[in-house]
Amino acid sequence: MKRLAVYCGSATPADPVYIECAQMVGRELAARGIGLVYGGGRLGLMGAVADACLAAGGEVIGVIPEALVGSEVAHRGCTELHVVPGMHERKRMFTDLSDGFITIPGGVGTMDELWEAISWAQLGYHEKPVGLLNVAGFYDQLIAFNRQMIDVGFIRQQHAGIMIVDETMDGLLGKMADYVPHKSIFQMKAEDL
């Protein structure tokens, strides 16, 4: 994996564990020679992951919509900063530039990015690993909900392993490196669905 897209919040929660997580992810990617592709912002966890990666000598590629550049939230210190028309183009560029995805804590936008990466993998738009770093149990309920969707049958058994979960960066990157793409919906026949 040469580059990973990191999905995370632009907010700064009161509990420092979340900023510390973002900083650790940035440092770890740089230490492993893995480039960071992220939302291009300078605030919250986004800014923390980018700043930590840059400070450790890593490559940081930001992808930000025009409207957010106008709000002066763009991180001007990135190795590369791509300004795109909107969110659809942003997520497409994340997919095109990265070899996989890691989601760390965040809000609505982070959830949108995570579920789209999973959905696109399930359909067959990409065959890249989709990781979820469950720091301080932040995603416990989301993991349980994903399990419920599998158990009920809304997520097919052959797609149950798309979301790769771990509580440590080392464990998550190891699982992502071992990821074997599943049979996508595009490869299935109606009777398989």
Per-residue pLDDT reduced to its tens digit, 108-160: 999 999 999 999 999 999 999 999 999 999 999 999 999 999 999 999 999 99
193 pLDDT band, cuts 50/70/90, is low
Sheet holding 163-166, edge to edge: 80-84, 60-65, 35-38, 3-7, 101-103, 130-133, 163-166
Which has more confidence, 192 or 121? 121
Q: What tokens appear for 179 in the block?
A: 């990821």
Q: In 3-state terms, what secondary structure has residue 63?
A: strand
Has residue 181 been placed in a domain?
Answer: no
Q: pLDDT per residue over 31-90, tens digit each?
A: 999 999 999 999 999 999 999 999 999 999 999 999 888 777 899 999 999 999 999 999
- Give the per-residue pLDDT at 190: 72
Has residue 27 been placed in a domain?
Answer: yes
Q: pLDDT per residue over 2-47, tens digit each?
A: 999 999 999 999 999 999 999 999 999 999 999 999 999 999 999 9
Question: CATH number, domain at 30?
Answer: 3.40.50.450
- Give the per-residue pLDDT at 189: 73
Global pTM value: 0.94
Has residue 192 been placed in a domain?
Answer: no
Has residue 185 been placed in a domain?
Answer: no
Q: What tokens appear for 57 in the block?
A: 């000598």
Spatial separation of the C-alpha atoms in residues 110 and 8, rounded to whole Å: 5
Give the count of alpha carbons within 13 A of 76, CB side only.
Answer: 5
* Structural domain for 85, as ranges: 3-176
Has residue 184 been placed in a domain?
Answer: no
Count of domains forming the chain: 1
Has residue 93 been placed in a domain?
Answer: yes
Has residue 25 been placed in a domain?
Answer: yes
Has residue 80 been placed in a domain?
Answer: yes
